[in-house]
Amino acid sequence: MSESTESTVLVLGSDPPPKLDRLTGRARVVSADPATLADRLRTADVLLAWDFTSDAIRGAWPVTGPRPGWVHTASAGVDRLLCPALVADDTLVTNARGVFEQPIAEYVAGLVLAMAKDFYGSWELQRQRRWRHRDTRRLAGTHAVVVGSGPIGRAVGTTLKALGVTVDLVGRRERTGDPQFGTVRASGALQPLLGGADWVVCAAPLTDATRGLFGPEAFAAMRPGAHFVNVGRGPLVDEDALVAALRGGHLAGAALDVFRQEPLPPDSPLWQTPGLIVSPHMSGDTLGWRDALAEQFVDNFDRWAAGEPLENVVDKQLGYVPVR
């Protein structure tokens, strides 16, 4: 792309819109909603999927004819936009790798600490004005299995290790000699690892291979009294199986930040499942996160306009940015 040629950046928007002031005079920024997306895709050079909760791209992506040469999503996951036509063509896809990792790791660490120290129980007893002394758990010396060896999983594992937790990191395939975790375990080794974990954290991408990864067999394989956290994608978890494991007392607690259906319907049984913490897909959203996402996109636009390689290019067959 020539620097002197004004390109068209199409933004699949949400409120508030991104701050793209640095593109003034360099690109024509056009917004679209799900109803107008299909028509406007054919005249766009770049698509910014700012509304990363939308599935509209999957239905609107052109099978033939003009289409953007680059799609960027303001999220770590790309499952909401990848469709057969987009996977098959030569359009580059990039994601927001680098923005959410540490905030999500801190969120997971906060949940683990809250469950170990029974902060929810303290709040509930305070609400009832009841003074009841009890013992809580020491976090150091416990063991976690973190599923997902990408940047988010690695940040989660590193943060838990700093709290004295031993960590097994699980990825798609086994890798030895990892500078932080020694051996990254293969996904095929997950089931036996679950039985030794006090904390199981799911931070995996959603692919055909990982959909429904945590179902009845996985929860049954976990140690009685263990805790489970999902900050990956909702469909990674069989929510009915998780509810059964919590209500039956096999798991001591769990926390979900992502769900099969978002927003979570008011009549979902998850709201009132004992031992379950529900949060509305906010684990990576810290103050200033929208500005950070916009800056990341514009930085990559600079590379694109200069004909340089883009950062965070997704392997569309795998469904994520490969580990270097």
In sequence order, which residues have a C-beta less than 8 Å from that of residue 298 and are 6 or more positions away? 20, 22, 23
Per annotation, catalytic residue among 80, 185, 233, 239:
233
- To the query of whether residue 311 is one of the catalytic residues in this protein, the response is no
CA distance 119 to 134: 12
d(CA 34, CA 247): 40
User: What span, in angstroms and rounded, lies between the C-alpha atoms of 131 and 122?
Assistant: 9
**CA R_g for the chain:** 21
Active-site option among 262, 303, 311, 324? 262
Asked about 250 being catalytic, the answer comes back as no
Annotation says 281 is catalytic:
yes
Catalytic residue among 40, 72, 154, 281: 281
Tell me the three-class secondary structure of the chain, residue by residue: CCCCCCEEEEEECCCCCCCCHHHCCCEEEEEECCCCHHHHHCCCCEEEECCCCCCHHHHHCCCCCCCCCEEEECCCCCCCCCCHHHHHCCCEEECCCCCCHHHHHHHHHHHHHHHHCCHHHHHHHHHCCCCCCCCCCCCCCCEEEEECCCHHHHHHHHHHHHCCCEEEEEECCCEEEECCCEEEEEHHHHHHHHCCCCEEEECCCCCCCCCCCECHHHHHHCCCCCEEEECCCHHHECHHHHHHHHHCCCCCEEEECCCCCCCCCCCCHHHHCCCEEECCCCCCCCCCHHHHHHHHHHHHHHHHHCCCCCCCECECCCCECCCC
Q: Which residues are catalytic?
A: 233, 262, 281
